[in-house]
Amino acid sequence: MLLLATLETPACILVRTPSIGQPGTPIAGFDASKYQVRKLIAALAERDKRLDSMQTPAVMEYTAGDRHVKAKEEIVVKRPGNLRVEAMSPFGVALLLAAQGSELAIFEPGQNRFMRGQATADTLYKYVRIPMAPTDAVGLLMGLAPPEFALNGIADSVSNDGAMTVASYGNAASGTRELGFSGGNLAMVRETAGNGNGRVNYEVRYSDYHDIGGVMFPYVVDATFPAAGSHVTFRYLRPIVNGDIPDSTFVLTPAPGATLMNLSLDDARAFSNES
């Protein structure tokens, strides 16, 4: 989804990567706060059930190493793992990316280059340094709790991180998964590796919630991936939720004469030409 970060565009800017949050202060009398936390998690689970799709223009800011990009995008996502991203330049569409089922496709109109590969975290990490499969990326963009977070489970601990209430699952040996809530809305998702090293695998912050047809939806999504050294922020402009989106939206086909690239092959074998 974020392959546009490899493009050289005149819109490049420096993006400051925020620091990863630290564990909060445990709440005295966990049992007394357990009921409130369970209410927040139940509300999050109910919200997740009500969301099926989202489409919006957005401003994306991305940094990875010495690469810094800001660009306008058109984003369309549909659960469980369908997504389409159009990255714009001053001259029109600079890049198209679409994922549906097990396939991910990327088209660069300016070079008439069409790339196809498996819709996996390995593919996105190899090319854009974002270690998420399209299904997880859809959840990130829609403000959903990750599938591996058992929303019907009881938190192992509850803490305060400023104004945010954080429910934690797991421990230092197995790794932790944390859900943060502020103002009744999901404000943070964080996963930390186990074996006592405390490394944060990823952290996503959600803010600027608006009521869209009775569903609270974040207009700002801010994600950091420390192991990959990358950070991305999306600012949604006019999101529409649960609209009618045909499946064909997520299918790309190569243009005549396009150079084809198989993302699953090494560079020496990857290219061919479409007649």
pLDDT tens track for 75-84: 999 999 999 9
* pLDDT score of 2 more than 90: no
Sign, CA torsion 12/85/149/227: negative
What's the domain count of the chain?
1
CA distance 73 to 95: 10
227-263 pLDDT, tens digit per residue, is 888 899 999 999 999 999 999 999 999 989 999 999 8
Residue 85 structure tokens: 């991203």
91 to 62, 71, 84, 199, 228: CA distances (angstroms): 20, 13, 20, 41, 31
Which residues, other chains included, contact 114 with Cβ-Cβ below 8 Å and sequence gap of 6+? 105, 106, 107, 108, 252, 254, 255, 258, 259, 260, 261, 274
Q: Which domain holds residue 158?
A: 3-20+27-273
**What is the average pLDDT across 181-196?**
91
Q: What's the mean pLDDT when you consider all of the chain?
A: 83
Are the C-beta atoms of residues 1 and 127 closer than 8 Å to each other? no
163-175 pLDDT, tens digit per residue, is 899 999 888 888 8
pLDDT for the residue numbered 4: 45
Q: For residue 88, what are the β-bridge partners?
A: 93
- 51: domain CATH number? 2.50.20.10
**What is the average pLDDT across 41-47?**
92
**What is the average pLDDT across 113-134?**
82
